[in-house]
Amino acid sequence: MANRSTPRSRESTAQILDALLTTKGTLLRSQAARNAPSPADAEDALMEACLQFLRYYNGPPGVHALRWLMLCVKHRAWEIVARRRSREALGELSCTDAYDPDGHTVHVPCQRPGPAERAERGEEVTEFFTALDRLKPDERTALLLLGFGLSYREIMHRQGWGPTKLNRCLAEGRAAIRTIDSGKRFE
């Protein structure tokens, strides 16, 4: 049984890494690009994986080292995605201000809704559910089953309805929901 606790010198680990990057660099970059959301994040994931390889790898060169580094690249890319999501959830990333290398503020268009948009959407969702609650039970059931992807035939079979009843429930339910779009309020 081989002794795994014998430390490898940093120089020999660096030589293994250099050989991997030279011969399998395209494969490693491809692995990073598949698992990271952007090219910059893919490069960061590859760089972090290389640093981790230098710190912790103590195995033989060759296929084992490549597999270790490929797995490490994938995990670093996933960690970058997770860090970004947690920062976004905490609101640390501003979607209107970014900074260029000179330190000047650059305004970037935002794809995420701001507080005002979220509040407005919250009101719309509340109005929608209020309208949905005020529908007749059969109308609500028909619309929800259709929204879940059931076909007309599946809804009729599931509920024991005929085509006339289903069409009436859907038409009246849609008309009631449409009043939200026209600006009318349920009273």
Asked if the model's pLDDT at residue 111 lies above 90, the reply is no
d(CA 150, CA 155): 6
Q: For residue 100, name the pLDDT band (cuts at 50, 70, 90).
A: low
At 185 the pLDDT is 46
At 2 the pLDDT is 46
**Regarding predicted confidence, which is higher, 83 or 95?**
83
CB 174 within 8 Å of CB 166 = no
What are φ and ψ of residue 73, in 5° steps? Answer: -60, -45
The fold of 115-181 is Arc Repressor Mutant, subunit A (1.10.10)
List, in order, residues 6 or more apart from 49 with CB less than 8 Å away: 28, 32, 69, 72, 73, 75, 76
At 7 the pLDDT is 55
Q: For residue 128, name the pLDDT band (cuts at 50, 70, 90).
A: confident
Asked if the model's pLDDT at residue 167 lies above 80, the reply is yes
The token duo for 177 is: 């929901």
Most confident of 11-25, 90-104, 150-164, 172-186: 150-164
Secondary element (H or E) of residue 180: helix 163-181
User: What pairs with residue 107 in β-bridges?
Assistant: 97
Local structure of 106: helix, strand or coil: strand
The 8-class DSSP code of residue 136 comes to -
At 148 the pLDDT is 86
Asked if the model's pLDDT at residue 152 lies above 50, the reply is yes
Convert the pLDDT of each residue in 16-58 to its tens digit: 888 888 888 888 888 888 888 888 888 888 888 888 888 888 8
CB 170 within 8 Å of CB 162 = no
Cα-Cα-Cα-Cα dihedral sign, residues 158, 162, 163, 169: negative
Local structure of 58: helix, strand or coil: coil
